[in-house]
């Protein structure tokens, strides 16, 4: 009786093991480098140029404010040194300088937010295009998972599972150079 139970237990464990192996083998994995794809998309150059122009416009406005700030400080220091400013004028100008400092700081904070929003608006269509192509590639190739090697989460991968060239083809891009992994 013990031999029969032992044999049944071994058979059950073997069946479970084979079933687990079959399930693992049913998964198909691939990987791409999404940053390499993003850099290869021609629209990225336009987005980069638009973002740079937008940032330069904001920076130009900030430089004007900073020039005004420096002039007010210089005028204030000159007035104090030459004793041409009354105590009331000194207090008034000091308050003006503090208000301008706050406006400059607020402008810098708002500019950073605006650049981040602009970047999101310019790049989101590119990310959507890449993600759609990856999803289509996964569906067409029967991939269960496609990893992004640019995120640094892949420690080893067989080059045969690198989907960079099929993805580039799907996006209408030239194949990657031979040295790309």
**Residue 181 confidence class, pLDDT cut points 50, 70, 90:** very low
* pLDDT given at position 47: 96
Q: CA–CA separation, 135 vs 77, rounded Å? A: 64
Q: CA–CA separation, 77 vs 90, rounded Å? A: 9
* pLDDT given at position 2: 61
Contact 79/90 with Cβ under 8 angstroms?
yes
Q: CA–CA separation, 69 vs 150, rounded Å? A: 44
Q: Is the pLDDT of residue 5 over 70?
A: no
pTM summary value = 0.69
Residue 69: closest CA among 95, 104, 41? 104
pLDDT digits (tens, 9 = 90+) for 21-72: 555 557 888 888 889 999 999 999 999 999 999 999 999 999 999 999 999 9
Q: CA–CA separation, 40 vs 123, rounded Å? A: 13
pLDDT digits (tens, 9 = 90+) for 81-120: 898 989 999 899 999 999 999 999 999 999 999 999 999 9
């Amino acid at each position: 009786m013990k031999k029969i139970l032992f044999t049944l237990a071994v058979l059950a464990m073997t069946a479970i093991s084979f079933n687990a192996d079959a399930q693992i083998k049913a998964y198909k994995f691939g990987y791409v480098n999404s940053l390499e794809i993003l850099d290869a998309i021609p629209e990225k150059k336009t987005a980069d140029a638009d973002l740079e122009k937008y940032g330069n416009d904001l920076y130009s406005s900030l430089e004007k404010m900073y020039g005004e700030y420096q002039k007010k400080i210089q005028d204030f220091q000159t007035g104090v040194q030459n004793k041409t400013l009354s105590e009331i004028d000194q207090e008034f100008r000091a308050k003006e300088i503090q208000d301008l400092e706050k406006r400059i700081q607020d402008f810098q904070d708002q500019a950073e937010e605006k650049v981040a929003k602009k970047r999101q608006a310019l790049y989101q269509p590119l990310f959507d295009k890449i993600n759609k192509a990856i999803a289509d590639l996964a569906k067409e190739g029967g991939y269960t998972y496609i990893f992004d090697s640019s995120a640094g989460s892949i420690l080893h991968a067989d080059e045969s599972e690198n989907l960079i060239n099929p993805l580039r083809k799907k996006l209408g891009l030239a194949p990657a150079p031979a040295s790309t992994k």
